[in-house]
Amino acid sequence: MKTRAILSVLGEDRVGIVAAVSGALAECGVNIEDIRQTIISGVFSMTMLVTVDEDACAFDRVQARLAEVANDLGLQITLQREDVFRLMHRI
């Protein structure tokens, strides 16, 4: 089963954030569909649309792997199914 999800990363800008996050995603077989990234007053903000292949890696395992990255780099990372955002913001 393939699940579309929104990945949101927030934290102090530093070298290697994109590499660490996308590396973790690749390990879990998660495909990145789209990325938006910006820096506002030194705060790194990245939003990704990704597809989680739950046959390869369960959703909560991807979340657990991302929690490790968040911990290592001092970031806030959330991975949530895309439906919740789409339904809340579109009629």
Partner 1 sequence: MLQLSPEEIAETLTMITQQHFDIRTVTLSLSLTGCAADSVDGVAERVYERVVRAAENLVPTCERLAREFGVPIVNTRVAVTPVAEIAPAGAGDLAPIAHALERAAQAIGIDFIGGFSALVHKGVGAADRALIASLPEALSTTERVCASVSVASTRAGINMDAVLMVAEAVRATAEATADRDGVGCAKLVAFCNMVEDNPFMAGAVHGAGEPDACVNVGISGPGVVRAVVRSLPEDADLTEVAEAIKATAFKITRAGELIAREAAARLGVAMGIVDLSLAPTPAEGDSVAEIIEAIGVARCGGPGTTTALALLNDAVKKGGAMGTSSIGGLSGAFIPVSEDAAMSRAAASGALTLEKLEAMTAVCSVGLDMIAIPGDTPVETVAAIISDACAIGVINGKTTAARIIPVPGKSPGDTAVFGGLLGSAPVMSVNEWAGTTLVRRGGRVPAPLASLRN
Nearer to partner 1, 49 or 73 (CB): 49
- Chain residues binding partner 1 by CB under 8 A are 3, 6, 8, 33-34, 36, 38, 45, 47-49, 59-60, 63, 78-81, 83-91
Alpha helix segments (H runs only) across the chain: 17-27, 59-73, 82-89
Nearer to partner 1, 14 or 81 (CB): 81
What is the smallest separation between the CB atom of 76 and partner 1, expressed in angstroms?
9
Place of tokens 């800008």: 13
Residue 80 near residue 88, CB atoms below 8 Å? no
